[in-house]
Amino acid sequence: MKIPNPVIIVVASALSEHYTHAGLNDLFMEAGAAGDIPVGNKMDKCAAWLKTVNQDVNRLSILGRLLENYLELETPEDAEGWRAGREKVRSALARYGLVYHQGGKVISSSGSTPIATLNEIIRRRDLPAVEEEFQRALEFCEAKPESAVTAACALIEALCKSYITEEGLQPP
């Protein structure tokens, strides 16, 4: 799924309000955005770079990394401005069937409820091996679906092993 143009505009507006030119350059490069640094004002730079990101197979992963600090860090002095910007970004994503998940993940909302629920269960039960496989499956969803299926199989295996161990059952 490509990043819709209205989402590009909202994200570009939000990021350009809170980052310097140098900060935007660092942000996009660290997120894995390819290409030369676009010229122009901060809004134009962000929008142009997001349009370039849209050509990448990992576009939603890059978008998630771009939004991670913006959506998750504690707000500075202008807390109200950040809150309003965050709400605009989340609303724009939701209008187009996308949802941001903690840790820099943007995915289609059609799969978000089961993912969120599974993620909560894994964290609540403190199962590090299962958490590792879960994160691996999420990372591969967009770019390498075949690898995501393999990671999901490993996730199920890790869950079964954890259950067998917890219940004191004899492994097969």
pLDDT tens digit sequence for 108-117: 865 544 555 5
17, 85 Cβ separation under 8 angstroms: yes
Please indicate, yes or no, whether residues 92 and 131 belong to a single structural domain of this protein: no
122-171 pLDDT per residue, tens:
666 666 777 777 777 777 776 677 877 787 787 778 777 777 777 777 88
Q: What is the pLDDT of residue 2?
A: 92
- Give mean pLDDT, residues 9-38: 95
The tally of domains found in the chain comes to 2
Please indicate, yes or no, whether residues 89 and 135 belong to a single structural domain of this protein: no
Which helix or strand (DSSP H or E) is residue 100 part of?
strand 98-101
Please indicate, yes or no, whether residues 39 and 99 belong to a single structural domain of this protein: yes
Q: What is the pTM of this model?
A: 0.64
- 118 in a structural domain: no
Please indicate, yes or no, whether residues 39 and 77 belong to a single structural domain of this protein: yes
Which domain covers residue 143, as residue numbers? 126-167
- 93 in a structural domain: yes
Lowest mean pLDDT across 66-75, 77-86, 87-96: 77-86
Q: What is the pLDDT of residue 140?
A: 74
The span from the first CA to the last CA of the chain, in angstroms, equals 41
Lowest mean pLDDT across 22-26, 32-36, 44-48, 147-151: 147-151
Angle at which helices 59-72 and 5-18 cross, to 10°: 40
- 38 in a structural domain: yes
3, 53 Cβ separation under 8 angstroms: yes
Q: What is the pLDDT of residue 137?
A: 75
The residues near 113 (Cβ < 8 Å, ≥ 6 apart) are none
- 143 in a structural domain: yes
Query: What secondary structure letter does DSSP report for 99?
Result: E
- 119 in a structural domain: no
Q: What is the pLDDT of residue 112?
A: 46
Please indicate, yes or no, whether residues 34 and 91 belong to a single structural domain of this protein: yes
Q: What is the pLDDT of residue 123?
A: 61
